[in-house]
Copies of this chain bind each other. A is one copy, B any other.
């Protein structure tokens, strides 16, 4: 079966695509990342509803599953949502007893979020399922190839995250002196 065989109707109508000419999106990195991300996750996400979890809730739980506490804003960046969105997600999750909020002792503005024992029980089987699903997706590629892909992605992430960092303290100080 051809790997790029169009889905039903995908090329219907009067599509005129010269053999050699790829679509814009097929060569555009941002789109390939978005589509790969979407498809790779889709199969796993399809199993979340039966666990009564939304995608965002799953991401919160597996991010917190390592045990440390995170500020709301920091957690929001991890789960790829805006802070007000996460606040509302945390409200639901706290009501259900999966996470707990506590004011930071060091800084009164910060609210630290941690996973509860119930949250851990909720997420444990899903973490295992996620690992199995990843293995399935990567089956056929060697382990080295998979690690190489992850390394490239981590590099991309680091590079873009650096760009989107808020102005560093040292510089903002200088800026304030106009």
A interface, CB within 8 angstroms of B: 1, 3-4, 6-17, 21, 23-44, 59, 62-63, 65-71, 73-74, 77-78, 80, 104, 106-107, 110, 112, 127, 130, 133-134, 137-138, 140, 145-146, 149-150, 152-166
Which residue in B17, B33, B138 is a CB contact (below 8 Å) of A66?
A: B17
Asked whether, in the complex, the Cβ of B13 is within 8 Å of the Cβ of A104, the reply is yes
The smallest C-beta distance from A128 to any residue of chain B, in angstroms, reads 11
Query: Quick one: copies of this chain in the complex?
Result: 2
Q: Contacts of A165 on B, CB cut-off 8 Å?
A: 7
Asked whether, in the complex, the Cβ of B39 is within 8 Å of the Cβ of A157, the reply is yes
Given the known interface contacts A70-B13, A73-B9, the answer about A30 and B150 at a Cβ–Cβ threshold of 8 Å is no
A81 to B65, CA, bound (A): 29
Which residue in B8, B71, B160 is a CB contact (below 8 Å) of A40?
A: B160
Asked whether, in the complex, the Cβ of B160 is within 8 Å of the Cβ of A39, the reply is yes
A14 to B106, CA, bound (A): 10
Among residues of B, the one whose C-beta sits closest to the C-beta of A65 is B24
Asked whether, in the complex, the Cβ of B39 is within 8 Å of the Cβ of A164, the reply is yes
Asked whether, in the complex, the Cβ of B62 is within 8 Å of the Cβ of A25, the reply is yes
A100 to B14, CA, bound (A): 14
Which residue in B8, B44, B80 is a CB contact (below 8 Å) of A35?
A: B80
Asked whether, in the complex, the Cβ of B44 is within 8 Å of the Cβ of A37, the reply is no
The smallest C-beta distance from A117 to any residue of chain B, in angstroms, reads 17
The smallest C-beta distance from A118 to any residue of chain B, in angstroms, reads 18
The smallest C-beta distance from A61 to any residue of chain B, in angstroms, reads 10
A80 to B31, CA, bound (A): 10
Asked whether, in the complex, the Cβ of B3 is within 8 Å of the Cβ of A162, the reply is yes
